[in-house]
């Protein structure tokens, strides 16, 4: 294969898998709804099982379910037949994944699962198969062709299976009113956890580090406050510490360009009234997004009564890992 043929082959594979997903949309029907409600009503966990590539996809589905509020784990069918079925309880629900619907390792588990009275959902491309007929619910994951030129290696079918698992997880998430706070509780580590748990209070400067001036002070004193606190801005407050406006180094530069005599001006004459702020307790990620949208580098933090309680620079958020 030459350079162009390699690129064309890559695009062809993606097109085949995309068509497989498009065809999967029409297979989301009453059986899908039954599977979702069977899991939702269960008082136990979801046990996902499969062999080979189906098993690999099954591990991902179990992980996605667990991370979105539906307790799940993966059970290898061979290990299950050698004792691990002891982990399955009658309150649980089992999801079996088999493209053919005739996987021998899964078929061996069915009699035991049936004796336990565990509901079985089978995800398969063959609704007439042995496993499909013995299941309580069959969810179709049929694709017309694999991306493999021999139509053998699981490619489009594993993509479809993973997508159907995601559909189950998200439907359950919404039915259970799974909140952002719930997500944060289950994802305390990594960049996701950081974005969900870090609040503006954790990174903002407070107390004497917050630049503040009264409206009547001379501009030169306001500039000194900005310089000493090193935020490139200062809040303008009244006698009760309530926010009146903000002065930034950009405001000062633009003022210098317009007029020469600056030192007779007072802070209130050059401040921007009612500046963009964020409430104390806000998520740091939300503050970062606000600063990007508004193209500002400094953000004042206020309480419910508009008292200035903190200030944050965009570099502080970047340093904390928010991006």
Written in H, E and C, the secondary structure of 5-24 is: HHHHHHHHHHHHHHHHHHHH
What is the C-alpha R_g of the chain?
A: 30
Written in H, E and C, the secondary structure of the chain is: CCHHHHHHHHHHHHHHHHHHHHHHHCCCCHHHHHHHHHHHHCCCCEEEEECCHHHHHHHHHHHHHHHCCCCEEECCHHHHHCCHHHHCCCCCEEEEECCCCCCHHHHCCHHHHHHHCCCEEEEECCCCCHHHHHCCEEEECCCCCCCCCCCCCCCHHHHHHHHHHHHHHHHHHHHCCCCHHHHHHHCCCHHHHHHHHCEHHHCCECHHHCCEECCCCEHHHHHHHHHHHCCCEEEEECCCCEEEEEEEHHHHHHHHHHCCCCCCCEHHHHCEECCCEEECCCEHHHHHHHHHHHCCCEEEEECCCCEEEEEEEHHHHHHCCCC
User: Residue 228 has what pLDDT?
Assistant: 93
Q: What is the pLDDT of residues 29-38, one digit of tens each?
A: 999 999 999 9
Are residues 213 and 110 located together in one domain of the fold? no
Residue 20 pLDDT exceeds 70: yes
Q: What's the whole-model pTM score?
A: 0.71
Note whether residue 304 is domain-resident: yes
Are residues 23 and 153 located together in one domain of the fold? yes
Are residues 274 and 305 located together in one domain of the fold? yes
Are residues 169 and 280 located together in one domain of the fold? no
Are residues 105 and 240 located together in one domain of the fold? no
Note whether residue 130 is domain-resident: yes
Are residues 27 and 118 located together in one domain of the fold? yes
- Mean pLDDT value across residues 260-278: 87
Q: Compare 188 and 219 and report the one with higher pLDDT.
A: 219
Q: What is the pLDDT of residues 187-213, one digit of tens each?
A: 666 666 667 778 999 999 999 999 999
Q: What is the pLDDT of residues 113-148, one digit of tens each?
A: 999 999 999 999 999 999 999 999 999 999 999 998
Note whether residue 183 is domain-resident: no
Please check whether residue 319 is in contact with residue 295, taking contact to mean a CB–CB distance below 8 angstroms: no
Hey, which residues does 95 pair with through a beta bridge? 48, 121
- Mean pLDDT value across residues 265-289: 92
The CATH code of the domain that includes 169 is 3.40.50.10490
- % of the chain beyond a pLDDT of 90: 79
Are residues 170 and 277 located together in one domain of the fold? no
Hey, which residues does 122 pair with through a beta bridge? 96, 138
* Distance between CA atoms of residues 224 and 218, nearest Å: 10
Note whether residue 191 is domain-resident: no
Residue 61 pLDDT exceeds 90: yes
Task: Give the chain's domain count.
Answer: 2
Note whether residue 189 is domain-resident: no
Q: pLDDT category, 63, cuts 50, 70, 90?
A: very high
- Mean pLDDT value across residues 85-101: 95
For 82, the domain range is 3-178
User: Residue 191 has what pLDDT?
Assistant: 65
Q: pLDDT category, 301, cuts 50, 70, 90?
A: very high
Please check whether residue 274 is in contact with residue 236, taking contact to mean a CB–CB distance below 8 angstroms: no
Are residues 215 and 306 located together in one domain of the fold? yes
User: Residue 115 has what pLDDT?
Assistant: 93
Are residues 264 and 144 located together in one domain of the fold? no
User: Residue 320 has what pLDDT?
Assistant: 86
* Distance between CA atoms of residues 69 and 170, nearest Å: 10
Q: What is the pLDDT of residues 157-175, one digit of tens each?
A: 999 999 999 999 999 999 9
Note whether residue 194 is domain-resident: no
Are residues 219 and 315 located together in one domain of the fold? yes
Note whether residue 186 is domain-resident: no
- Mean pLDDT value across residues 240-256: 91
User: Residue 186 has what pLDDT?
Assistant: 72
Computed over every residue of the chain, the mean pLDDT equals 92
* Distance between CA atoms of residues 280 and 161, nearest Å: 44
User: Residue 14 has what pLDDT?
Assistant: 95
- % of the chain beyond a pLDDT of 70: 96
Note whether residue 307 is domain-resident: yes
Are residues 167 and 54 located together in one domain of the fold? yes
Are residues 219 and 111 located together in one domain of the fold? no
Residue 236 pLDDT exceeds 70: yes
């Amino acid at each position: 294969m030459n350079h162009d043929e390699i690129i064309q082959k890559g695009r062809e594979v993606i097109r085949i898998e995309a068509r497989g997903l498009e065809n999967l949309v029409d297979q989301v029907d009453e059986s899908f709804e039954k599977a979702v409600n069977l899991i939702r009503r269960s008082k136990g966990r979801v046990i996902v099982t499969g062999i080979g590539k189906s098993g690999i996809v099954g591990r991902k589905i179990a992980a996605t379910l667990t991370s979105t509020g539906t307790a799940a784990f993966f059970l290898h069918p061979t290990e299950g037949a050698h004792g691990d079925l002891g982990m399955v309880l009658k309150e649980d629900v089992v999801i079996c994944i088999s493209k053919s619907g005739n996987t021998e390792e899964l078929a061996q588990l069915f009699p035991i699962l049936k004796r336990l009275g565990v509901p079985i959902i089978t995800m398969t491309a063959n609704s007439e198969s042995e496993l499909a007929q013995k299941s309580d619910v069959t969810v179709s994951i049929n694709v017309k062709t694999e991306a493999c030129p021999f139509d053998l290696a699981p490619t489009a079918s594993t993509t479809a299976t993973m997508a159907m698992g995601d559909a189950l997880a998200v439907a359950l998430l919404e039915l259970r009113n799974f909140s952002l706070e719930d997500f944060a509780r289950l994802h305390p580590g990594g960049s996701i956890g950081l974005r969900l748990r870090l609040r503006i209070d954790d990174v903002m400067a407070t107390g004497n580090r917050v630049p503040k001036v009264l409206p009547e002070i001379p501009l030169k004193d306001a500039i000194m406050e900005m310089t000493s606190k090193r935020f490139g801005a200062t809040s303008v407050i009244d006698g009760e510490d309530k926010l009146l406006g903000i002065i930034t180094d950009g405001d000062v530069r633009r003022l210098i360009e317009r007029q020469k005599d600056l030192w007779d001006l007072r802070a209130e004459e050059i401040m921007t009234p009612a500046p963009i702020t964020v409430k104390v307790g806000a998520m740091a990620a939300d503050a970062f997004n606000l600063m990007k949208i508004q193209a500002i580098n400094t953000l004042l933090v206020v309480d419910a009564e508009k008292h200035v309680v903190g200030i944050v620079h965009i570099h502080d958020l970047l340093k904390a890992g928010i991006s």
